[in-house]
A and B are shown apart, each in its own frame.
Chain A
Amino acid sequence: MAEQTQMKVSDEVAIEITNMNKWFGAFHVLRDIDLTVYQGERIVICGPSGSGKSTLIRCINALEEHQQGTITVDGTLLGSDLKNIDKIRSEVGMCFQHFNLFPHLTILENCTLAPIWVRKTPKKEAEETAMHFLEKVKIPDQADKYPGQLSGGQQQRVAIARSLCMRPRIMLFDEPTSALDPEMIKEVLDTMIELAEEGMTMLCVTHEMGFARQVANRVIFMDQGQIVEQNEPEAFFNTPQNDRTKLFLSQILGH
Chain B
Amino acid sequence: MSDTHSESVAYVRESFIEEQPAPITAAGPFKWVKDNLFPTWLNGLLTIVALYIIYQLLAGFLPWFLGGVWTTGSLAECREVLQGEVGACFSVLTDRWHQLLFGFTYPSEFYWRPTLAFVLLFVALAPVLFFDLPRKMLIFTGLYPFIAFWLIWGGTIFAPLSALLGFVVGYLVYEKFVKSSFAAGFFGGIVAAIVIWTVGGWLIPENASENAMLTAVPSRDLGGFMLNMMLGITCVSLSLPLGIALALGRQSHLPLVKWICVVFIEFVRGVPLITLLFVANVMLAYFFPPGSGVDLFLRVVIMITMFASAYIAEVIRGGLAALPKGQYEAGDSLGLDYPQAMRLIILPQALKISIPGIVNVAVGLFKDTTLVSIISMFDLVGMIRGPILASTDWNGVYWELFLFASALFFVVCYGISQYSQWLERRLETDHR
> Does chain A bind chain B?
yes
Contact pattern, A 150-168, Cβ under 8 Å of B = 1, otherwise 0? 0000000000001100100
Taking CB atoms, residues of chain A closer than 8 Å to B344 are 113, 117
Knowing A113-B334, A117-B336, A162-B334, say if A100 contacts B429 (CB, 8 Å). no
B residues 307-361 with Cβ under 8 Å of A?
A: 324, 326-327, 329-330, 332-337, 340, 344-345, 348-349, 352
Residue from A96, A101, A114, A147 within 8 A of B335 (CB atoms): A114
Separation of A155 and B71 alpha carbons in the complex (Å): 68
A residues 74-110 with Cβ under 8 Å of B?
A: 86, 89-90, 92-94, 96, 98, 100-104
Contact in complex: A63, B332 (CB < 8 Å): yes
Separation of A103 and B430 alpha carbons in the complex (Å): 6
Contact in complex: A117, B431 (CB < 8 Å): no
Knowing A100-B327, A104-B349, say if A89 contacts B332 (CB, 8 Å). yes
Contact in complex: B431, A148 (CB < 8 Å): yes
Contact in complex: A104, B352 (CB < 8 Å): yes
Taking CB atoms, residues of chain B closer than 8 Å to A104 are 348-349, 352, 427, 429
Number of interface residues of A (CB under 8 A): 27
Task: Confirm or deny: A146 has a beta carbon within 8 angstroms of a beta carbon on chain B.
Answer: yes
Taking CB atoms, residues of chain A closer than 8 Å to B431 are 146, 148-149
Task: Confirm or deny: B432 has a beta carbon within 8 angstroms of a beta carbon on chain A.
Answer: yes
Contact in complex: B340, A96 (CB < 8 Å): no
Taking CB atoms, residues of chain B closer than 8 Å to A166 are 334-335
Contact in complex: B430, A118 (CB < 8 Å): no
Contact pattern, B 250-261, Cβ under 8 Å of A = 1, otherwise 0? 000000000000
Task: Confirm or deny: A61 has a beta carbon within 8 angstroms of a beta carbon on chain B.
Answer: yes
Contact in complex: B329, A96 (CB < 8 Å): yes
Contact in complex: B334, A114 (CB < 8 Å): yes
Knowing A100-B326, A148-B430, say if A89 contacts B333 (CB, 8 Å). yes
- Minimum distance in angstroms from B331 CB to a CB of chain A: 8
- Minimum distance in angstroms from A225 CB to a CB of chain B: 21
Separation of A149 and B326 alpha carbons in the complex (Å): 19
- Minimum distance in angstroms from B216 CB to a CB of chain A: 47
B residues 379-420 with Cβ under 8 Å of A?
A: none
Contact in complex: B330, A86 (CB < 8 Å): no
Taking CB atoms, residues of chain A closer than 8 Å to B327 are 100, 102
Most buried by B among A86, A103, A118, A166: A103
Separation of A113 and B348 alpha carbons in the complex (Å): 14
Knowing A86-B335, A117-B344, say if A100 contacts B329 (CB, 8 Å). yes
Taking CB atoms, residues of chain B closer than 8 Å to A94 are 333
- Minimum distance in angstroms from A192 CB to a CB of chain B: 17
- Minimum distance in angstroms from B116 CB to a CB of chain A: 38
Contact pattern, B 278-300, Cβ under 8 Å of A = 1, otherwise 0? 00000000000000000000000
Number of interface residues of B (CB under 8 A): 22
Most buried by A among B329, B335, B337: B335
Residue from A63, A101, A117 within 8 A of B340 (CB atoms): A117
Contact in complex: A146, B430 (CB < 8 Å): yes
Contact in complex: B326, A98 (CB < 8 Å): yes
Taking CB atoms, residues of chain A closer than 8 Å to B336 are 113-114, 117-118
Contact in complex: B335, A102 (CB < 8 Å): no
Separation of A13 and B230 alpha carbons in the complex (Å): 65
Separation of A61 and B334 alpha carbons in the complex (Å): 10
Taking CB atoms, residues of chain B closer than 8 Å to A162 are 334
Separation of A91 and B417 alpha carbons in the complex (Å): 46
- Minimum distance in angstroms from B324 CB to a CB of chain A: 8
Contact in complex: A96, B334 (CB < 8 Å): no
Taking CB atoms, residues of chain B closer than 8 Å to A114 are 334-336
Separation of A114 and B336 alpha carbons in the complex (Å): 7
Residue from A89, A98, A146, A149 within 8 A of B334 (CB atoms): A89
Contact in complex: A101, B333 (CB < 8 Å): no
Closest residue to B326 on the A side, CB-wise?
A100
Separation of A129 and B432 alpha carbons in the complex (Å): 29
Contact in complex: B345, A102 (CB < 8 Å): yes
Separation of A101 and B431 alpha carbons in the complex (Å): 14
Separation of A104 and B327 alpha carbons in the complex (Å): 11
Contact in complex: B430, A102 (CB < 8 Å): no
Taking CB atoms, residues of chain A closer than 8 Å to B334 are 89-90, 113-114, 118, 162-163, 166
- Minimum distance in angstroms from B178 CB to a CB of chain A: 14
Separation of A147 and B330 alpha carbons in the complex (Å): 14
Separation of A148 and B431 alpha carbons in the complex (Å): 5
- Minimum distance in angstroms from B380 CB to a CB of chain A: 39
Taking CB atoms, residues of chain A closer than 8 Å to B329 are 63, 96, 100
Taking CB atoms, residues of chain A closer than 8 Å to B430 are 103, 146-148
Residue from A90, A102, A117, A118 within 8 A of B330 (CB atoms): A102
Contact in complex: A103, B429 (CB < 8 Å): yes
- Minimum distance in angstroms from B415 CB to a CB of chain A: 26
Contact pattern, B 235-246, Cβ under 8 Å of A = 1, otherwise 0? 000000000000
Separation of A98 and B330 alpha carbons in the complex (Å): 10
Contact pattern, A 121-146, Cβ under 8 Å of B = 1, otherwise 0? 00000000000000000000000001
- Minimum distance in angstroms from B293 CB to a CB of chain A: 46
Taking CB atoms, residues of chain A closer than 8 Å to B432 are 148
Taking CB atoms, residues of chain B closer than 8 Å to A96 are 326, 329-330, 333
Separation of A148 and B336 alpha carbons in the complex (Å): 23
Separation of A149 and B345 alpha carbons in the complex (Å): 19
| Besides A104-B352, A113-B345, 18 other A-B contacts (C-beta < 8 A) | A61-B333, A63-B329, A89-B333, A89-B334, A89-B335, A94-B333, A96-B329, A96-B333, A98-B324, A100-B326, A102-B330, A102-B345, A102-B349, A117-B340, A118-B335, A118-B336, A118-B340, A148-B432
Please list the 7 inter-chain residue pairs (A to B) with the smallest Cβ-Cβ separation, ordered nearest first: A90-B335, A100-B330, A100-B326, A114-B334, A148-B431, A94-B333, A89-B335
6 A-B interface contacts by CB (under 8 A): A86-B335, A94-B333, A96-B333, A104-B427, A114-B335, A148-B431
* Chain B residues within CB distance 8 Å of chain A: 324, 326-327, 329-330, 332-337, 340, 344-345, 348-349, 352, 427, 429-432
